[in-house]
Structure 1
Amino acid sequence: MDPVLNPYAPGAGSPPPELAGRGDVRESVRVCIERLRRGRHAKSVLMVGLRGVGKTVLLDKMRQDAEAAGAHTIRIEAPENKSLPAMLAPQLRLALLRLSRVEAARDYAIRGLRALAGFARKLKVTYNDIEVGLDFDPEPGLADNGDLEGDLTALLEQAGDAAKHADTVLVIFIDELQYVQEDQMAALISALHRCIQRQLPVTVVGAGLPQLRGRMGEAKSYAERLFDFPEIGPLATADATLALVKPAADEGVELEAEAVARILAETGGYPYFLQEWGKHAWDVALQSPITGEDVVGASTEAIAALDESFFRVRFDRLTPAEKRYLRAMAELGAGPHRSGDIAQQLGRNVQSFGPTRSSLILKGMIWSPTHGDTAFTVPLFDQFMKRIMPGDEWATGTAVEQ
């Protein structure tokens, strides 16, 4: 069939042609924003889930929803090597400049820009990656004490005052939130808490790996009272079927029931993998309907594409010791697994793998569902590890990096 008309969209953050099964969480964010606009209490929303479940796509769609409803939004992605103040400062500047165009909020937004000037100049000593244009001179004593928690609180209060007088809501969208360092996470939570106490229309909608919930609690013990943590997982059968069938139907193409069943079995209902298999099944098929045999032929190509992109980009960041640890996990299956069982696969005591395990958690490769358990954050990664490190040589090799 014509590859130009192929409707499927595998890719990091690429919106699927049909965003199925996510209506409930989108509605919860809509309700949160509307309650805040009306001066009512609402918890911020932090979505947690494995790689490939569509958190980034969902975050971007929620931002579009919010802006369509008149909210003011900012969007940041937290990389591993950049501070939260450096990411927030330029985006808050843009939000405050937009708010300054609203006559009723102008004075409050300008004071917010003065707060930002003090915030950036004072904290640049500690966070030297802060780069932001300054539109007004700082106001002495406003967000310029050099203490991140206090200064960020003062800055978000000013932004919240401006949003309130503009009769809108400031929504801060943050992706990959698990990479924010604990002290910076604590400052964000504290600032948001103060905005809630003052009934200011400021909220955070974030996304991160499953360990995010625990990290938020470690940063501030009261975090669970400020946030809802909806779990974003694989799609239910009906939603996964819709995500596959509707885009093809929109192009006048059908999928046989056997084709759908095979794709669901291969992908486990994970949205990223559904798009990958859908794309290759379309390209393999000669005509409509797409058959089960087409899916069998497409699976080899889909797996190869995943190995060279989705999986490989993560594998290449690992040290030899980390690769062996993940290969030992894969030998045990999809998981989760007891840390002691993983260590036994490698013939050493569990304590000796503490640094390796911690490093893998920091890199976002594994997480701990419960104390002593370890699980992959990337679906189907166990199968990839067996393909990329076949045989049993990995078990007898010497880990050179711990």
Structure 2
Amino acid sequence: MDPVLNPYAPGAGAQPHELAGRDGVREMVRIAIARVRAGRPAKSAMLVGLRGVGKTVLLDKMRLDAEVAGCITARIEAPEGRSLPSMLAPQLRIALLSLSRIEIAKEAGIKALRALAGFVKSLKVKFNDIEVGIDYDPDPGIADNGDLEHDMQALFERVGEAAKVASTAVVIFVDELQYVREEELAALITVMHRMSQRALPVLLVGAGLPQLRGRMGEAKSYSERLFEFPEIGALSPADAGAALIKPAEENGVTYTEEAIYTILGHTKGYPYFIQEWGSHSWNIALNSPIGYEDVHKASATVIAAMDEGFFRVRFDRMTPTEKKYLRAMAELGPGPHRSGDIADVLERSVQSMAPVRSSIITKGMVWSPSHGDTAFTVPLFDEFMRRIMPGDEWKR
């Protein structure tokens, strides 16, 4: 079939044709935005889930929803090694420039831009990766004390006041939030607490790996009362089927029952994998309906492509010792696994492997669902580890 008409979007963060199974979360965030805009209390949201479940796609869709509703938005991704202020400042500047162009909010928007100037000037030494244009001179004494937590509060109060005057809301979307340092995460939580206390129309919608909930609790103990933590997981069989079938049907193409069953079996309901299998099956099939043989041929191509891309890019970040730890986990199956069981496979003590486990958690490859347990953050990674490190050679 014509690859130009292929309706699937397997790229990282690419919007799929059919965003199935996420209406409840979108509605929850829509209501929260509407409430803060009306001056009513609402919780910010932290989307937590494994890799490949569509958190980034959902985050971008909700940002579009917010903009359609007339809100001012900012969108950042938190990679390892960059400070939160360096990522926030440029996006806040863009948001505040938009607010300052609304006639009724012009003065309040400029006051917020002055606060941003003081914030950047005072923290540029501490966070030397901050690079942002300054549009106005700072207001002395506002967000310029050099203390991240207090300066962020003062800055966001000005942001919230400008949004309130403009009868809108500022919604900040942050992806990969688990990589933000604890001190900066604590400051962000404190800021959102202050926004809630003052009923200012500023909302935070974040996304991260499952360990994000625990990290936020460690940063500020009251975070669980301040945020909603919807879990973004694998799709139900019905939603997974819709994500696969609807894009094809809208292009006049169908699947046989056996083909659908085979793809859903391979993908286990994970949205990214559904896009991959759907895309490759479409490209291999000569005509409709797409059948079992098409899916069978596509599967070898899909697995090879993901091994060299989706899985390999994460595997290559690991040290040899970390790779052995992950392979020992894979030996036990999908998980989660007790730390003691993993150490037994490696014929090492739990204590000696603790630094390795900690390092892999920091890199975002595994997480701890409960005390002493370890699980992969990437679905099907156990199968990949057995393919790339087969047999028993790795034990040596």
- What interval of TM-score do these two structures reach, taking the shorter chain for normalisation? over 0.9
Query: Which position in structure 2 is the counterpart of 1:371?
Result: 371
TM-score by length of structure 2 reads 0.99
Query: In structure 2, what is the Cα distance between the partners aligned to 1:119 and 1:6?
Result: 48
Structure 1 residues 156-171: aligned runs within 5 Å: 156-171=156-171
Query: Which position in structure 2 is the counterpart of 1:384?
Result: 384
Paired amino acid for 1:355: P
Structure 1 residues 1-400: aligned runs within 5 Å: 1-396=1-396
Deviations 1:213-244 (A, max 9, x none): 00000000110111000000011011111111
Deviation at 1:251, TM superposition (A): 1.1
Query: In structure 1, what is the Cα distance between the partners aligned to 2:333 and 2:277?
Result: 22
Query: In structure 2, what is the Cα distance between the partners aligned to 1:7 and 1:329?
Result: 36
Deviations 1:51-87 (A, max 9, x none): 0000000000000000000010000000001000000
Paired amino acid for 2:370: T
Unaligned runs of 5+ in 2: none
Query: In structure 2, what is the Cα distance between the partners aligned to 1:145 and 1:340?
Result: 48
Deviates more, 1:321-330 or 1:2-11: 2-11
Aligned to 1:39, the other structure's residue is in SS state coil
Deviations 1:189-209 (A, max 9, x none): 111111111100001001000
Deviation at 1:127, TM superposition (A): 0.3
| Aligned pairs, number | 396
Paired amino acid for 1:347: E
Aligned to 2:205, the other structure's residue is in SS state strand
TM-score by length of structure 1 reads 0.98
Deviation at 1:376, TM superposition (A): 0.1
Aligned to 2:289, the other structure's residue is in SS state coil
Query: In structure 1, what is the Cα distance between the partners aligned to 2:138 and 2:273?
Result: 50
Deviations 1:229-281 (A, max 9, x none): 00000110111111111111111111011111100100101000001101111
Query: In structure 2, what is the Cα distance between the partners aligned to 1:199 and 1:16?
Result: 36
Deviations 1:358-381 (A, max 9, x none): 111111100000000000000000
Query: In structure 2, what is the Cα distance between the partners aligned to 1:143 and 1:314?
Result: 39
Q: Percent identity?
A: 69
Unaligned runs of 5+ in 1: 397-402
Paired amino acid for 1:207: A
Aligned to 1:31, the other structure's residue is in SS state helix
Query: In structure 1, what is the Cα distance between the partners aligned to 2:358 and 2:347?
Result: 19
Query: In structure 1, what is the Cα distance between the partners aligned to 2:286 and 2:136?
Result: 63
Query: In structure 2, what is the Cα distance between the partners aligned to 1:299 and 1:222?
Result: 46
Query: Which position in structure 2 is the counterpart of 1:399?
Result: none
Aligned to 1:207, the other structure's residue is in SS state strand
Deviating 4+ runs (over 3 angstroms): none
Query: In structure 1, what is the Cα distance between the partners aligned to 2:182 and 2:319?
Result: 25
Deviation at 1:318, TM superposition (A): 0.7
